[in-house]
């Protein structure tokens, strides 16, 4: 089985890259799709169906991890993740047009993968105890998605403190899970984690800011890579806080000037750390650097170029950042006070925040709150 599974992954990945390089009608794509189908039929004859899962950065085919799949394996993992998919099942009786449609849609950054009778897609939850498949999108399921992502983020953050290596695959997995939840029309508010204790909540805040940022971007029309990159950048916007001495970071009283200056440096520490991380969306260090700069450029850090404007992605993250920071304050924790927070944001429209984005954010939050789901 394994040899055949490896050839299938290789041929499928080549078909995908040829398809995005040329077109779905190109003869190389036709030929590779045909070849992929015949290998797939052989595999299905043996096992009844073929299940491909993405676990971290590995492919698991019919429960067997395929290691060292090189450039083809990595290419397939990347494409599936960017579509928000962590699992694809090819079923008995799959036809050539179905496989071809799957290849065409998976290869195209602007298209969604539509359901097919013999190709099923979904998202998986990877738990410490093993692998469980999560296809439900009920309220409990959503809360589970949210808390699981916070757990994952916590592990990634723990790895980063003390300047460890950034676990990029873990970050990708979190963002891909949310993209999938959005695609299934999940209510945004159900994906937000409650605030943990005051200390040690940077990872929860990161995940929430990612959800609020991706929600804005998605409703403004961002798809696939754009949506994905903004999720990654938002999730990591505050990582620089991990490099600030604990006694300053966790101090609960009024900060002295030098302590406040150190806190402000989380923007620079974060940008520096993320700029060194391999394989990370290039926008991430920029968002970390700019997220307190304000729309009018009056915030911090004080940068050399005075006229520097925040990148649009940073402006989106800044809106999400403020909203989540305020809602996690003591007096708003019970979920009340949304109108008050939105009014504060409105006050800052044009100075602290991009006014168009504030207006848009108010609308989508109001819609989410009134949605019956």
Contact track, Fe ion, 252-281, x by CB under 5 A: ------------------------------
Cβ proximity of 309 and 297 under 8 Å: yes
- Sole window of 24-32, 63-71, 317-325, 345-353 interacting with Fe ion (rule: CB under 5 A): 317-325
For the CB of residue 345, give the shortest distance to Fe ion in the complex, in Å: 15
Pinpoint the alpha helices (H) of the chain.
2-21, 27-47, 70-82, 96-107, 139-160, 168-183, 202-219, 224-235, 246-249, 257-264, 266-275, 283-290, 312-327, 338-347, 355-370
User: Residue 172 or 321: which CB sits closer to Fe ion?
Assistant: 321
For the CB of residue 363, give the shortest distance to Fe ion in the complex, in Å: 23
Burial 254-279 (b: 16+ CB within 10 A, else e): eeeeebeebbbbbbbbbbebbeebee
Look up residue 304 and give its DSSP letter.
Answer: S
Distances from the Cα of 222 to the Cαs of 47, 149, 231, in angstroms? 39, 22, 11
- Sole window of 54-62, 67-75, 319-327, 333-341 interacting with Fe ion (rule: CB under 5 A): 319-327
User: Residue 244 or 368: which CB sits closer to Fe ion?
Assistant: 244
Choose among 213, 225, 228, 168: nearest CA to 314.
Answer: 213
The full DSSP string for 195-236 is P--STT-HHHHHHHHHHHHHHHHHHTT--HHHHHHHHHHHHT
User: Residue 238 or 352: which CB sits closer to Fe ion?
Assistant: 238
User: Residue 33 or 317: which CB sits closer to Fe ion?
Assistant: 317
For the CB of residue 183, give the shortest distance to Fe ion in the complex, in Å: 26
User: Residue 173 or 238: which CB sits closer to Fe ion?
Assistant: 238
User: Residue 33 or 210: which CB sits closer to Fe ion?
Assistant: 210
**Exactly one of 105, 180, 290, 321 binds Fe ion (CB under 5 A); which one?**
321
For the CB of residue 243, give the shortest distance to Fe ion in the complex, in Å: 13
For the CB of residue 269, give the shortest distance to Fe ion in the complex, in Å: 11
For the CB of residue 359, give the shortest distance to Fe ion in the complex, in Å: 22
For the CB of residue 241, give the shortest distance to Fe ion in the complex, in Å: 7
Helix 266-275 to helix 257-264 angle (10° resolution) is 30
Helix 202-219 to helix 168-183 angle (10° resolution) is 50
Distance from C-alpha of 203 to C-alpha of 136, rounded to nearest angstrom: 25
Strand order of the sheet with strand 119-127? Answer: 64-66, 58-61, 49-55, 87-91, 119-127, 130-134
User: Residue 218 or 238: which CB sits closer to Fe ion?
Assistant: 238
The first and second tokens of residue 159, run together, are: 């790895």
Number of residues that bind Fe ion (CB under 5 A): 2
User: Residue 169 or 248: which CB sits closer to Fe ion?
Assistant: 248
- Sole window of 138-146, 235-243, 298-306, 336-344 interacting with Fe ion (rule: CB under 5 A): 235-243
Give the footprint of Fe ion on residues 116-175 (CB under 5 A): none
Q: How many residues does the chain have?
A: 373
- Greatest distance between any 2 Cα atoms in the chain: 70
Tell me: does residue 290 bind Fe ion (CB under 5 A).
no
Tell me: does residue 238 bind Fe ion (CB under 5 A).
yes
Q: Which stretch of DSSP H or E encloses residue 59?
A: strand 58-61
Look up residue 298 and give its DSSP letter.
Answer: -
- Sole window of 29-37, 216-224, 302-310, 314-322 interacting with Fe ion (rule: CB under 5 A): 314-322
For the CB of residue 198, give the shortest distance to Fe ion in the complex, in Å: 14
- Sole window of 7-15, 174-182, 320-328, 363-371 interacting with Fe ion (rule: CB under 5 A): 320-328
- Sole window of 35-43, 216-224, 234-242, 336-344 interacting with Fe ion (rule: CB under 5 A): 234-242
Dihedral (CA of 124, 126, 131, 132) sign:
negative
User: Residue 104 or 314: which CB sits closer to Fe ion?
Assistant: 314
Cβ proximity of 1 and 47 under 8 Å: yes
For the CB of residue 146, give the shortest distance to Fe ion in the complex, in Å: 18
For the CB of residue 239, give the shortest distance to Fe ion in the complex, in Å: 10
Q: Footprint of Fe ion on this chain (CB under 5 A)?
A: 238, 321
């Amino acid at each position: 089985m394994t040899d055949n599974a490896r050839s299938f992954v290789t041929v499928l990945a080549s078909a995908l890259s040829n398809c995005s390089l040329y077109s779905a009608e190109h003869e190389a794509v036709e030929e590779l799709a045909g070849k992929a189908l015949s290998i797939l039929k052989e595999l299905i004859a043996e096992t009844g169906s073929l299940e491909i899962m993405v676990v971290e950065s590995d492919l698991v085919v019919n429960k067997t991890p395929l290691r060292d799949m090189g450039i083809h394996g990595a290419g397939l993992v990347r494409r599936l993740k960017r579509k928000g998919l962590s699992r694809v099942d090819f079923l008995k009786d799959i036809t050539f047009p179905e496989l071809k449609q799957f290849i065409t849609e998976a290869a195209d950054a602007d298209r969604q993968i539509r359901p097919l009778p013999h190709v099923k897609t979904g998202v998986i939850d990877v738990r410490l105890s093993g692998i469980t498949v999560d296809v439900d999108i009920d309220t409990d399921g959503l809360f589970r998605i949210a808390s699981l992502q916070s757990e994952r983020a916590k592990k990634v953050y723990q790895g980063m403190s003390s300047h460890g290596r950034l676990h990029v695959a873990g970050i990708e997995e979190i963002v891909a899970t949310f993209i999938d939840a959005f695609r299934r029309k999940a209510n945004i508010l159900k994906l937000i984690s409650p605030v943990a204790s005051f200390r040690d909540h940077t990872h929860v805040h990161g995940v929430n800011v990612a959800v609020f940022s991706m929600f804005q971007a998605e409703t403004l029309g961002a798809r696939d890579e754009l949506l994905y990159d903004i999720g990654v950048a938002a999730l990591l916007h505050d990582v620089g806080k991990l490099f600030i001495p604990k006694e300053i970071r966790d101090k609960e009283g009024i900060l002295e000037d030098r302590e406040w200056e150190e806190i402000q440096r989380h923007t620079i520490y974060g940008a520096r750390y993320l700029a060194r991380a391999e394989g990370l969306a290039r926008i991430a260090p920029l968002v970390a650097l700019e997220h307190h700069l304000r729309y009018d450029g009056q915030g911090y850090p004080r940068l050399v170029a005075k006229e520097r404007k925040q990148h649009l992605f940073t402006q989106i993250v800044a809106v999400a950042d403020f909203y989540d920071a305020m809602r996690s304050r003591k007096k708003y924790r019970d979920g009340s006070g949304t109108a008050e927070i939105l009014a504060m944001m409105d006050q800052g429209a044009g100075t602290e925040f991009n006014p168009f984005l504030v207006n848009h954010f108010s609308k989508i939050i109001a819609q989410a709150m009134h949605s019956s789901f």
